[in-house]
Amino acid sequence: MFIGDEMPRRKVDVGKAIRNALSGNAMTWTGLLKETKVSKGALSKHLNSLIDRKVVLTRIRETRPPQTVYYLADQPFVNVVLFLTDGMTKEQMDDFFDNILTGDVFEVLIESYEKILNLIQSKTFPLRIPIDNIFSIEKQEDLEKLHKIWEHPPHMNITLPQILNVDLDSMAEPEREAWESTIFSQITVQFILTIYRIEKLFLEPFPKEFRDKIQEKGDLGNTLVLEFIQKKNIWEEFDKFSEWWYKKISPKIPSSDLLGMLALRFYIETHA
């Protein structure tokens, strides 16, 4: 490198810088400009884009004069929307939020997710390990003890943090909440919509008139998704979102067929 040569400028992800700045607290435009260290033009462009995507929200602070304050939407919403709206024009995003991913649809996804997560966290699994011909045991009573364990295996509770090697107990409360919210993603939505399609298939054999009555008044408390759709009475709305998702998003998700099989297995296990 010759003296006087300039180092190439590092490309800044302005959208990410804004999200990072707002991850802890709400900020004014001036505060964001200072925190992100980007130009006014870059901040305005990317901030407006995040507002259009509903990732960044605004409110008016009652000061003299009043100030507009920017803050980040809930993390699960941010995770999914950043993925879904990538490349959309403003007109496409307006239509998307008005007609596809409405507030009620997203609330159903979150409520279903929490119910599924509770089932995963409380699920116990039998630990079955074959013991014959592993080693020789001279005492007959020792062999009998092992066979009793084999015939009536102990159960273990496996939690998601254990699988992902995360120690929630050692985390501070804000860090724990942040971790738990970030595991909600497009993969999560794919899983939930697979469960939704499974549960819908259970209603298919019924005549439409009877199926409508089940959706309106039936006891759906044992379902994982339909229960929350019923409470909000958004059957057509949620079905529209599901159809859109399987047409536009599922093909982009790696191993969506494997995810579907896992969702089916999970549903069978939890409803056996």
CATH number of the domain located at residue range(s) 1-73 in this protein: 1.10.10.10
Q: Which stretches of 92-249 are assigned E, i.e. beta strand?
A: 124-126, 155-157
pLDDT at site 62: 85
**Banded pLDDT at 2 (limits 50, 70, 90):** very low
What residues contact 204, with CB distance under 8 A and at least 6 apart?
Answer: 211
**Least confident interval from 42-46, 122-126, 144-148, 236-240:** 122-126
**Tell me: the pLDDT tens digits for 208-227?**
888 899 999 889 998 999 99
Tokens 């191993």 found at: 255
pLDDT confidence of residue 138: 54
Mean pLDDT score of the chain, rounded to an integer? 81
Q: What pLDDT sits at residue 1?
A: 44
CB 224 within 8 A of CB 115: yes
pLDDT of residue 112: 94
pLDDT band at 139 (very low <50, low <70, confident <90, very high): low
Question: Sorting pLDDT into bands at 50, 70 and 90, what band is 253?
Answer: confident
Mean pLDDT calculated for residue range 35-49: 93
**Average confidence (pLDDT) over 52-75:** 90
Pick from 178, 189, 180, 183: nearest CA to 112:
189
Residue spans of the domains in the chain: they are 1-73, 103-123+158-270, 125-157
Percentage, residues of the chain above pLDDT 70: 74
pLDDT of 134 strictly over 70: no
Query: What pLDDT shows up at residue 55?
Result: 93
Asked if 51 and 36 touch (Cβ cutoff 8 Å), the reply is no
Cα angle 239-117-256, degrees, rounded to a multiple of 5: 55
pLDDT band with cut points at 50, 70 and 90 for residue 39? very high
pLDDT in tens, 152-193: 555 555 565 665 676 767 777 666 666 666 678 888 899 899
Return the exposure string of 25-55: e unless at least 16 CB atoms fall within 10 Å of the residue's CB, then b: ebbebebbbeebebeeebbeebbebbebbbb
Q: What residue ranges in the chain does DSSP mark as E strands?
A: 27-28, 56-61, 67-72, 124-126, 155-157
Predicted pLDDT at 17: 92
According to DSSP, the residues that pair with 59 across neighbouring strands are 69
Indicate the DSSP class of residue 13. Answer: -
What is the band of 265 on the pLDDT scale with cuts at 50, 70, 90?
confident
Whole-number Å distance between alpha carbons of 47 and 264:
41
Asked if residues 83 and 185 have their Cβ atoms less than 8 Å apart, the reply is: yes
